[in-house]
Structure 1
Amino acid sequence: MKYQITLPANQPIMTVRDLLEQEWLVPRKVRHFLRVRKHVERNGEPVKFHEEVHPHDQISLTLEESDYSFQEIPLGDPDIDVLFEDEHLLIANKPFGIKTHPNQPGETGTFFNHVQAYLAQKQERGYIVHRLDKETSGVVLFAKNPLVLPILGRLLEQKEIHRTYQAIVKGKLTHDQTIRLAIGRDRHDRRKRVVDPRNGQQAVTHFHVVAATAQQSMITCILETGRTHQIRVHLHAIGHPIIGDPLYGKASDRLYLHAKQIELIHPFTKQHLNIETKNSLFHE
């Protein structure tokens, strides 16, 4: 596997070692292999780890299959709704009602099975970055190589990947709010989460009211934290469960929660990505 990355115009001058270790988070074992195999090139020439890189340099890394582990899964239907793709990232629109990824060996029918089938057509692979609940539709980000995966993980951890959700909830909401309620596991139902001020994890959801009637409200939500079922638990806790929620409200044809938009800085190109789905809960 050979990857070629052109450093952006705002790339700080640093050594190859610092670029691989601090910026790209290449594991120590893989850095060792790259060094002893002389599998790092700068502008087409082998480069040593103490040498510097500069803006617009082209860095080439050659990785072996054995350098990173990969778990094969059954392939699904390759006909997926791709919103953005380059050699490092894939952003696709997950339908509601299917899981993001398998939980058991040999499991089929998840969105990740379909993504892998799509990428297999080009002899490429996908890697899980984050997930949506089975009942939730919308944008999901995948890595297309193991090199970019830890960088995306760091962006998530540092809250530098922003997702905007649409929801339709029961009852009339009159103003924008920020909900700050800790969330923990429900001791009586392993599928559910509950507000748990004593033992729960901090959770913050910001929501904006788009339109409202006496019966229901259309809102957009931005997560400051990313707890399991966070939006669903928070809205249920303030008395406005999401319409169609089979766990925290009343089931209907679907859960009216949709990940509409994702925003991040591309780990390698530093391009600002703001990707959204064409479909909307508010116009279905």
Structure 2
Amino acid sequence: MSQTISQTIEQAHIVPDAMIGLRLDQAAAALFDDFSRERLKSWIREGALTLDGQRAQPKSPVPSGATLALHVVLEERDSWQPEAIELEIVFADDQLLVINKPAGLVVHPAAGNESGTLLNALLHYDATLATLPRAGIVHRLDKDTSGLMVVARTLAAQTALVEQLQARSVKREYDAVVTGTPIAGGRIEAPIGRHPSDRKRQAVVAHGGKPAVTHYRVLERFRGHTHVRCRLETGRTHQIRVHMAHQRLPLIGDPLYGGRPRLPPGATEALKEVLREFPRQALHARRLAFDHPVSGETLAFSSELPDEIYMLLDVLREDRESH
């Protein structure tokens, strides 16, 4: 049997201007992103997560300067349990797995989010992964980013893959849809560290940040938005989201860094609706390449854009063609 321990979670965040008018559950999911959206909704209903000290409904809009406060006592297990969560396995051998992660799936359990994660799914897929640190997970994708990840199945493979990541020899490309119309792509070299006043956010910082480099190029322009492809040299938390926002090209649907949706003049009703309702940041890990930890063979994988990003691009094209 696994032991349980009690833990008190107390966190508070002031709603940034970019989130004004969002639903309470949407703002909470962005600010308290260690926890699943469903867990946060239940805490809102129970009154454990309050809006300016008052109970509210998950759909309540958040006003400017509001404080979201969480106070909850959790019971945590000291071991994680396998769960029958469907995984899209792109590649598997005795050393590693490559998976295509859907948006909305948290990678690793955290306090208050101990189930329903990729790690729980991996333990169900292969029980031997319980012998490895983090069940073989060597890198992460944000909860609401979709796409390709590699997972080790042996300690030797995990060590080798981590070394490749540290040496920047793993090739990672992402597709993103951003607000703004850059003339051309470019190289962003700007250190990233914890935001000085909000622990849930990262930021480009002048002092104390970790080196971070992102390359991006334009794939398709629309009237007020652009489809770009990003290539990572480094892998900092929220790197693409932070770097693109720093370039004043925030990702569509990003509640933490995206700001309010900006519409081109005379936007179609379909475009207004899709930008208002887009469920997550428009970011997808489309390509992953690395050397096999045993054979040394270079492996490369690609993943098609998920349906919601295809739909977003179609609506942006229709708006462009209508003018």
Could you tell me the TM-score, scaled by structure 2's length? 0.62
Alpha-carbon distance between aligned partners in 2 of 1:215 and 1:105, rounded to the nearest angstrom: 39
Of 281, 287, 295, which aligns to 1:261? 287
Q: Which residue number in structure 2 is paired with residue 151 of structure 1?
A: 160
**1:194 equivalent in alignment to 2:203:** yes
Alpha-carbon distance between aligned partners in 1 of 2:113 and 2:180, rounded to the nearest angstrom: 42
Secondary structure of 1:153's counterpart equals: helix
Which amino acid in 1 is paired with 2:191?
A
1:11-48: per-residue Cα shift (whole Å, max 9, x none)? xxxxxxxxxxxxxxxxxxxxxxxxxxxxxxxxxxxxxx
**1:164 equivalent in alignment to 2:173:** yes
Which amino acid in 2 is paired with 1:157?
Q
Q: Which residue number in structure 1 is paired with residue 316 of structure 2?
A: none
| Compared CA separation, residues 185 and 268, structure 1 to 2 (3 A) | same
Q: Which residue number in structure 1 is paired with residue 246 of structure 2?
A: 237
Of 294, 297, 300, which aligns to 1:271? 297
Judge conservation of contact 1:73–1:106 (CA < 8 Å) in 2: no
Q: Which residue number in structure 1 is paired with residue 14 of structure 2?
A: none
Which amino acid in 2 is paired with 1:192?
R
Secondary structure of 2:299's counterpart equals: strand
Shift of 1:90: 0.4
| Compared CA separation, residues 157 and 170, structure 1 to 2 (3 A) | same
Larger helix proportion, structure 1 or 2?
A: 2
Structure 1 residue runs without a partner (length 5+): 1-70
Q: Which residue number in structure 1 is paired with residue 182 of structure 2?
A: 173
Shift of 1:113: 1.1
Alpha-carbon distance between aligned partners in 2 of 1:234 and 1:95, rounded to the nearest angstrom: 23
Alpha-carbon distance between aligned partners in 1 of 2:105 and 2:259, rounded to the nearest angstrom: 19
**1:283 equivalent in alignment to 2:306:** no
Judge conservation of contact 1:205–1:225 (CA < 8 Å) in 2: yes
Shift of 1:247: 0.5
Judge conservation of contact 2:129–2:136 (CA < 8 Å) in 1: no
Matches within 5 A, 1:116-127: 116-120=123-127, 126-127=135-136
Secondary structure of 2:162's counterpart equals: helix
Alpha-carbon distance between aligned partners in 1 of 2:176 and 2:89, rounded to the nearest angstrom: 22
**1:132 equivalent in alignment to 2:141:** yes
Q: Which residue number in structure 1 is paired with residue 215 of structure 2?
A: 206
Alpha-carbon distance between aligned partners in 1 of 2:283 and 2:309, rounded to the nearest angstrom: 11
Which amino acid in 2 is paired with 1:232?
R
Structure with bigger gyration radius: 1
Q: Which residue number in structure 2 is paired with residue 142 of structure 1?
A: 151
Secondary structure of 1:148's counterpart equals: helix
Could you tell me the TM-score, scaled by structure 1's length? 0.70
1:21-77: per-residue Cα shift (whole Å, max 9, x none)? xxxxxxxxxxxxxxxxxxxxxxxxxxxxxxxxxxxxxxxxxxxxxxxxxx8521223
Which amino acid in 2 is paired with 1:283?
Y
Shift of 1:136: 0.9
Shift of 1:272: 1.3
Structure 2 residue runs without a partner (length 5+): 1-77, 261-277, 312-323
Which amino acid in 1 is paired with 2:104?
G
Q: Which residue number in structure 2 is paired with residue 184 of structure 1?
A: 193
Which amino acid in 2 is paired with 1:235?
M
Judge conservation of contact 2:282–2:309 (CA < 8 Å) in 1: no
Which amino acid in 1 is paired with 2:219?
V
1:145-172: per-residue Cα shift (whole Å, max 9, x none)? 2221111111111111111001000011
| Equivalent pairs, count | 212
| Compared CA separation, residues 82 and 147, structure 1 to 2 (3 A) | same
Which amino acid in 1 is paired with 2:280?
R
Matches within 5 A, 1:210-229: 210-229=219-238
Secondary structure of 2:174's counterpart equals: strand
Shift of 1:250: 4.2
Shift of 1:282: 5.5
Alpha-carbon distance between aligned partners in 1 of 2:216 and 2:83, rounded to the nearest angstrom: 35
Judge conservation of contact 1:83–1:276 (CA < 8 Å) in 2: no
| Compared CA separation, residues 191 and 208, structure 1 to 2 (3 A) | same
